[in-house]
Structure 1
Amino acid sequence: MIRDLTDDEARRALPEKWGSTDPDVIPAWVAEMDFALAPAIAEALSRAVSDGVTGYPRFEIGGELGAAYAGFAQRRHGMDVDPEQVLPVVDVTAGVRLALDVLSGPGPLVLPVPAYSPHLGIAEVSGRQRVDLVVDPDATRAELDLDRLDRLFADGARTLLLTQPHNPWGRVFSPTELEGVRDVVTKHGARVVADEIHAPLVLPGAEFVSYLDVDGTADHAVAVVAASKAFNTAGLRCAQIISRDVATRDRLLSVPMARNESWSSLGVVAAVAAYTDGDAWLDALIHRLDEQRSLLTALLAEHLPAARMRPLEGTYLAWIDVRAYGHADPASLALQKGRVRVAPGHDFHPDLPGHLRLNIATSPDRLREIVRRLAGALT
């Protein structure tokens, strides 16, 4: 069910990832997949455009979108979601910002680093200081330092921005880890905003648990989700804030409309189709990504044996340490010498040299050529 786009198709379909890249460069950077749209989504959008669905969306909680997400969360994650606790927003970053503005106190924001690059600036745009919870780059497995988190809250931080599954680490946090986070947060009366956009993309061997499904989190947390990463619909602009507490939901609803940027009617159409009719396609995608994960492991062992890749438990974004090859900015070298574009590690951790993020959501042949070019540039 997963159809690889040709280069020409990808340049038309993905104007940022492919269209902004020179024709002789293979793009493996931004978090978009080189796959055709799921048929259920393509058909739903085609019908909507034919019907002229280009007006304002309904400004409502729950509704068709809330019901669709609730059904999806139950089937995919065993998670009970009240459709009336599903609030549309324009995208996940805007949802995180809205939650911070409305729910969080003015104290510093704790951000686990390396971090999704837009999150690095979200504290500043919300009028807060960012304090980093840095993950040891030499640790075998990326884990949250709960003692450090405790000290940051003791020093005045008020909110943790938690990405689960994590981008760029590729980690899926276990229930025990999430319970540890909860214990520290509740000790200090703090708050969690959980970016769970990659939740549908957990690979075999790991299991997703929402932070909201951990006992004792409903009164201090929200999750922000979307179909966009799993179904390649980022340009359609529709995400959702999920709450488990009516008072929290009502606070989010009480703000002026201008505080919540308007989402897209076509984004709602695509999200409902994905959540309602996308399971078979998503299963096929997970199978493909699992194969790509295994292929990447083999290719690195063959071509870049000194590279270290964090265990990829979720997402299609591999976090790779190539410091052993002696280049502070391997992504720049890969582009200049290898004509392959990967995401530079300093986009996610400004002071960390020798790392890169590689997108594996492409064809096997492209992935082979990406690693071959990367190795040629670095070695």
Structure 2
Amino acid sequence: MTPAAAPTNAPDLIRDLTDEEARRALAKWGMAEPDVLPAWVAEMDYALAPVVHDALREAVDAGVTGYPRFETGGELGEAYAGFAERRYGQRVDPDQVLPVVDVTAGVRVLLDVLCEPGPLVCPVPMYAPQLSIAEVTGRPRADLVLDPDAERAEIDLDRLDRLFADGARTLLLTQPHNPWGRVFTRAELEGIRDVVLRHGARVISDEIHAPLALPGAEHVSYLAIEGTADHAVVVTAASKAFNTPGLRCAQIVTADPATRDRLLSIPYVRNDSWSPLGVVAAVAAYAHGDAWLDALLARLDGQRSLFGRLLAEQLPEARMRPLEGTYLAWVDLRAYGFDDPAERILVKERAWLSPGHDYHPGLPGHLRVNLATSPARLTELVRRMAAGLGD
């Protein structure tokens, strides 16, 4: 279900942080030297959504700083289920929603508790911390590599089939995908399901960027695909769309009671404790944040258009597939002749971008750019990119 179009004044709900505010609030800015323009880690340069800010202030005033409630469903489950139905047209049982500290920790718990030993399939390029999850959980990693010259970023179903045939047991799916920027279609997800079912494998679907499907794309949860309930689990959070990763609350979503009960049976020490303030923020975002989120999507739509124009003007040899979701652009700069363009741009022009080899070890000439900033900062960022890659 595509969200209703934002009203014409909706972008006014998004307030750009000043440099001083950003350096105090965000690791993205606070870890950068004063002359560096940062566009690396996935934090947005925008003030907290007022509904989330107000809910947190009220909770702190009430002294909500103890342990969280150790429960499934509850207020968090109800809020997420309502959000999923409004935003994605997906029916979720609130009692199938379990809190977890963050998405990466949730993936680790699911691998430990639900998944058979055997290689973990990782579509590469992939979010850098998740590339280490196979090793952390004692599994070999089976890379499902995107051809950097392919016209469209897609899951290679034939290759996926071969990896499962060779012994892989779990696919770690990221959708919308970071850093590809793809929002997978229902047909694509059905194709993945068919391969997984053929081999009796599992899927862990990281859907943290689901609220950030941009205009023209529609997020479909893997669990919304028929025939996935008994082999798949979703991990998601409000933290990426509402800029609250430090509050430490994600959600594991199941659609099969037996799967949920297996997760409930584990000792609490297996599931790192989430934050009660994270629950407050997530409930406020899911239940009351639609207007702000629509405004954010309108702003990000404008940012991706601006970025495309600036690249065409100043870095015409750059290659970027259409950005369908997230605010993170995967850019191919191999034509400019530098194995690590992010390092060169940082040294020459003091702009901090994410190097491509963090997401695809051994791949030269790529980087990831965070577009969730002001138009003025984005314009200056591309100017520095172009100058850094020039003579």
Q: Which residue of 1 aligns with 2:5?
A: none
What are the ranges of 5 or more consecutive residues in structure 2 without an aligned counterpart?
1-12
Counterpart check, 1:218 vs 2:229: yes
Counterpart check, 1:95 vs 2:106: yes
Q: Which residue of 2 aligns with 1:327?
A: 338
Counterpart check, 1:7 vs 2:23: no
Q: Which residue of 2 aligns with 1:20?
A: 31
Offset at 1:295?
0.1
- Equivalent positions of 1:164-313 (< 5 A) are 164-313=175-324
Secondary structure of the corresponding residue to residue 17 of structure 1: helix
Q: Within 1, Cα distance between the matches of 2:333 and 2:380?
A: 18
Secondary structure of the corresponding residue to residue 309 of structure 1: coil
Q: Within 1, Cα distance between the matches of 2:48 and 2:269?
A: 32
What are the ranges of 5 or more consecutive residues in structure 1 without an aligned counterpart?
none
Q: Within 2, Cα distance between the matches of 1:308 and 1:213?
A: 33
> Where does structure 1 differ by over 2 angstroms across 4 or more consecutive aligned residues?
none
Q: Within 2, Cα distance between the matches of 1:21 and 1:191?
A: 40
Q: Within 1, Cα distance between the matches of 2:86 and 2:187?
A: 23
Secondary structure of the corresponding residue to residue 183 of structure 1: helix
- Structure 1 vs Structure 2: percent identity of aligned residues? 74
Q: 1:35 aligns with which of 6, 25, 46?
A: 46
Q: Within 1, Cα distance between the matches of 2:386 and 2:19?
A: 22
Q: Within 2, Cα distance between the matches of 1:34 and 1:164?
A: 23
Offset at 1:338?
1.1
Structure 2 counterpart of 1:8, which letter? E
The Cα offsets for residues 20-64 of structure 1, whole Å up to 9 and x where unpaired, read as 100000000000000000000000000111111100000000000
RMSD of aligned Cα (Å)? 0.4
Counterpart check, 1:366 vs 2:377: yes
Offset at 1:2?
0.1
Q: Which residue of 2 aligns with 1:76?
A: 87
Offset at 1:141?
1.0
Offset at 1:140?
1.2
Q: Within 2, Cα distance between the matches of 1:272 and 1:67?
A: 9
Q: Within 1, Cα distance between the matches of 2:360 and 2:101?
A: 26
Q: 1:375 aligns with which of 362, 386, 389?
A: 386
Aligned residues: 378
The Cα offsets for residues 72-120 of structure 1, whole Å up to 9 and x where unpaired, read as 0000000000000000000000001111111100011000000000111
Secondary structure of the corresponding residue to residue 69 of structure 1: helix
Counterpart check, 1:121 vs 2:161: no
Q: Within 2, Cα distance between the matches of 1:276 and 1:206?
A: 23
Offset at 1:133?
0.1
Q: Which residue of 2 aligns with 1:156?
A: 167
Structure 2 counterpart of 1:23, which letter? P
Q: Within 2, Cα distance between the matches of 1:206 and 1:64?
A: 29
